[in-house]
Amino acid sequence: MKPSSIDIREPVDSGIESVADDRLMAASSTFTGVLPKMTDQGLESIHKVSSRNQFGEEQDINIVDEIPLTIKIDGEELVTLMTLGTHPEKLVLGYLRNQTLFSDPREIKSVEVDWSRELAEVSTVDGEGVKGIDTSRRTVTTGCGQGTILSCTLDKLYDHRLPETEVLQSDIYRVLGQIKDFNRAYRIAGSVHGCGLCRQGEVLIFIEDVGRHNAMDTISGEMWLQGLSGNDKIFYTTGRLTSEIVMKAALMGIPVLVSRNGTTNMGLELARDLGVTLIARAKSRQFVALNADNLVYDAIPGGKPRVVNTEKS
């Protein structure tokens, strides 16, 4: 039963928090076909409720939504996601992409979200749903809200090993310096994870959701619609760098993951297999780099440039 303060029938204009420039938007021209038609049913995710503090005093506090959204493909139920509901259409697209159910957004005719039924209806161009894929076999992951990975995702995973990409220490510092300006829901109400797509230290897109996997999928959906490559990007997340997050980074073509949290051993092993660099426990000007032979130390703590001896012995 939903709290009385939530009215899920009143969508609001809640555009993705982004500082994308013309170079980012121009990438959409790489698609020549018809992209999916989509509703625009983003919800306001933060509400005030009454509470009492440790002294028994009444006070209003902010809390965030957690709403189920069931995805159906050509009428067949696939999965139910728990989400803030701020960008449901792009969350659905990113989920389908990161589960490797579709290889191109132009295979999808439309995504229609109806919050009165807590339903996202996906119609494909051929109307035949997901063909030749067993969607019943699922692995429950450590993602917030118990994420799932379909068996077909695992089957195709190793098709996505990434080439080694140079990453600058100074770009990591720039991302860490900017990211605090984007986590609006966390500052107001807490209880969410945030993810950011970054390039050369600049935050291009930032999404918050109740689970980091949802936030990552939403960014993936936005990238898919715009035809954005991930090979020159850094992905930031507030959550752990688990195998699921590494897997999705590889599927999105993103070679560098940065987190203020740690990693798991399986996450690290998979990162080595897929060519993903992990920057963990990253706060201020500190971090721990793993699988990071491609990391260029062009700045030292304190911001002074590193002196490199270029003379050959």
- Which CATH number characterizes residue 124's domain? 3.10.20.10
- The answer to whether position 26 is within a domain reads no
Residues 94 and 154 in one domain: yes
**Stretch (H or E) spanning 278:** strand 277-283
What's the predicted TM-score (pTM) here? 0.82
State the total domains in the chain: 2
Alpha-carbon torsion angle 152, 153, 157, 159, nearest 10 = 60
Looking at mean pLDDT, say which of 27-31, 140-144, 162-166 comes out highest. 162-166
Residues 108 and 191 in one domain: no
> Given pLDDT bands bounded at 50, 70 and 90, which one contains residue 183?
confident
Return the percentage of the chain with pLDDT > 90, whole number: 67
The two structure tokens encoding residue 305: 């440039």
- Is the pLDDT confidence value at 16 over 90? no
Residues 196 and 226 in one domain: yes
- The answer to whether position 152 is within a domain reads yes
CB 36 within 8 A of CB 107: no
Please state, in angstroms and rounded to a whole number, the distance separating the CA atoms of residues 4 and 135.
35
* Greater model confidence, 32 or 53: 53
- Which CATH number characterizes residue 269's domain? 3.40.140.10
- The answer to whether position 9 is within a domain reads no
Please state, in angstroms and rounded to a whole number, the distance separating the CA atoms of residues 171 and 177.
10
> Average pLDDT of the chain?
83
pLDDT value of residue 134: 62
Residue 212 has φ and ψ, to the nearest 5°, of: -65, -30
- Is the pLDDT confidence value at 135 over 70? no
Residues 141 and 176 in one domain: no
> Given pLDDT bands bounded at 50, 70 and 90, which one contains residue 189?
confident
> Given pLDDT bands bounded at 50, 70 and 90, which one contains residue 311?
very low
- The answer to whether position 313 is within a domain reads no
Tell me which residue range forms the domain holding 292: 167-296
**Stretch (H or E) spanning 155:** helix 151-156
- Is the pLDDT confidence value at 280 over 90? yes
Please state, in angstroms and rounded to a whole number, the distance separating the CA atoms of residues 232 and 245.
18
Asked which of 113, 129, 158 is the last residue of a domain, the reply is 158
**Cα maximum dimension of the chain:** 73
Residues 126 and 234 in one domain: no
